[in-house]
Structure 1
Amino acid sequence: MKAIFLISLLASFIFLSFSIGTSPTSVKIPEPATPVPSSESEQLGISTESPTVAQPQKFKIVNVVDGDTVKLESGETVRLIGIDAPETKGDCYATEATKKLEELTLNKEIELEKDVSQTDRYQRLLRYIRIGDSFITAFKNTPQFTAEMN
């Protein structure tokens, strides 16, 4: 039994060594389908064409539903990503959260930025809201905002 195992192991090694040791001699290397870059910028993969940057879309907020939900001029409802404000007027700080969001966004031109999820279970758009260079979620971390809420 041991002899059969050793013979088959030896045969495997011999076969493997022939497989590795031989290589086809008539392999033709294909020519590249694209032309070879001629300039240094092409060789480095740098495009010399000027890029086209999509301009962000501007939206106007016409209604603040609560501290984390707004209505756009288009009629769409947007739920802010990164803010979880109280939903009803009876909840603690619900009125303050709504007033603060009104102060920051109402009748202002804003930009919306998508994340992984497009909508929530109520079919509201899930978006970050940007005013100028700042996201609305950044305002909640400022000392002024914290002082106003206390």
Structure 2
Amino acid sequence: MCTAARFQKVGRLLQRGSKPGAGGSIVVEGARKATGGKGRTRIVMTMAVFFGIYSTIAGRLVYLGFQNPDLSGGPQSRVTASRPDIVDRNGEVLATDIKTASLFAEPRRIVDADEAIEKLSTVLPEIDYEQTYNKLKSGAGFVWLQRQLTPKQQAD
């Protein structure tokens, strides 16, 4: 008697959940509520946490972007320390650090290579005309003309 009542109860549940024209599929009531509710809550909570984190980062970036530019660090000027002299045990200088300048050209910007070489030869008489002409006509963006200029050459 007890088993018959159970079968009747299960039969009624299956009939309530079945839909006409559904191809004989059986839907059990409460199955979606039992599993889908927790998963949906977890997804919403995860999305809320990520939204909060990204909102905090975005807010901080906006805040830092509107700061007073005088207070911001900005690019620091590079200060290069000179190397100390190398001396022997008597204090005689064996080696020292000498900063020198170099001369370069941007061939793409030079209109008349012959005129440029004429003006350079007044300051640098040892310059090779043929080699310098080829460098200035190369069409490269940057070429070295002479390295380690003397202070007199720099002044001229």
Going by fraction, where is strand more abundant, 1 or 2? 1
**Greater Rg by CA:** 2
Going by fraction, where is helix more abundant, 1 or 2? 2
TM-score (norm 2): 0.22
